[in-house]
Amino acid sequence: MAVDSIGSSKNRDFWRARPVLVTGAGGFVASWLCEALVGAGANVVGIIRDSAGERLLRLHGIADRMNLVHGSIADFALVERAINEYDVDTCFHLAAQAIVGVANRSPLSTFESNIKGTWNLLEACRLSKTITRVVIASSDKAYGDQPLLPYREDTSLRGRYPYDASKVCTDVLARCYAATYDLPVTVTRCANIYGGADFNWSRLIPGTIRSVLLDEDPVIRSDGTPERDYLYVTDAVAAYLTLGQHAPEAGVRGNAFNFGSNHPVSVLALVEQILVMAGSKRRPRILGQAKGEIDCQYLDSTLARQTLGWSPQIELDEGLRCTVAWYADYRKTVLG
């Protein structure tokens, strides 16, 4: 199911011919964002590190309609060159090492990408004479374990594990540059984003769908009880685009915004929902081995609704149907 993340023709006109940089352009969410921007007529520049990123952009059919810069955001000169040579007006910073398990095994490379990469991007934007808006991807994981839920934007950031801590640093650095240098920076704190074209099989939703399509029992690493907030990818893209448009405005500039469905669901209930939806008779294998799991995480998105006019459009049931259908179609295309 195709969903227009851009919205009205007025919004589409806003992005037409606008020079936009997307870091981590070959990632799951960033590739969907690039597709929306290319579709709106923006002049999109994408920084990608590995060939897998370019393959994902080709899967979306947009690799040849973008300018691709190959390299790491840990390389300041590369980031600065990308902004200056393409006269970038707007930057969406999504590049990150985003897999929690990888972060736990390899914290230094995660910090290099997620923290150093962020200060490189912010400093390059500060020095630029063309940048008018910057959107930085933080995460709901930055909030960490809290006694009161849902998370609100004024909730303290208490992320302690490597990925969570890296997003705390990302978040604080972005707001530091806004406060100190009046850089037009805003921050997204999104719930767990899901949808087609996410090939990180260690994540719950794509991993479960893959198991279903292979007629295997899906694996739950936790005990199945943790509750999470899930946001369909086109709603996430709409959040980025909306925040990008409003970034320089008072009340938006320098602030962070939550984007979520506001409806947490347990891991086990989600897996069972996917199994029923796919007509599978398989049952989940519950390992109960996950360490450092926070029992419940979900967001209050009231500020985004009131300030930006954003609200999620895709309910979980519809989003899961779209996602299962995407992977089923992809498997048919690849395997015949």
Residues belonging to the active site:
163
Residue 296 CB contacts under 8 Å (≥ 6 apart), including other chains: 149, 226, 227, 228, 264
Task: Find the Cα–Cα–Cα–Cα dihedral 284, 287, 293, 294, rounded to 10°.
Answer: 50
Residue 250 neighbours by CB distance under 10 Å: 8
Q: What distances in angstroms separate CA 129 from CA 27, 71, 84, 89, one per listed residue?
A: 28, 23, 8, 9
Q: Give the chain's largest Cα–Cα span.
A: 59
Provide the terminal-to-terminal Cα distance of the chain, rounded to the nearest Å.
Answer: 21
Distance CA(50)–CA(58), nearest Å, equals 13
Query: To 5 degrees, how large is the angle CA 152–CA 223–CA 156?
Result: 20
Q: What distances in angstroms separate CA 133 from CA 17, 164, 245, 248, 273, one per listed residue?
A: 15, 25, 8, 6, 40
Distance CA(124)–CA(118), nearest Å, equals 10
Residue 38 CB contacts under 8 Å (≥ 6 apart), including other chains: 44, 62, 65, 66
Distance CA(48)–CA(323), nearest Å, equals 25
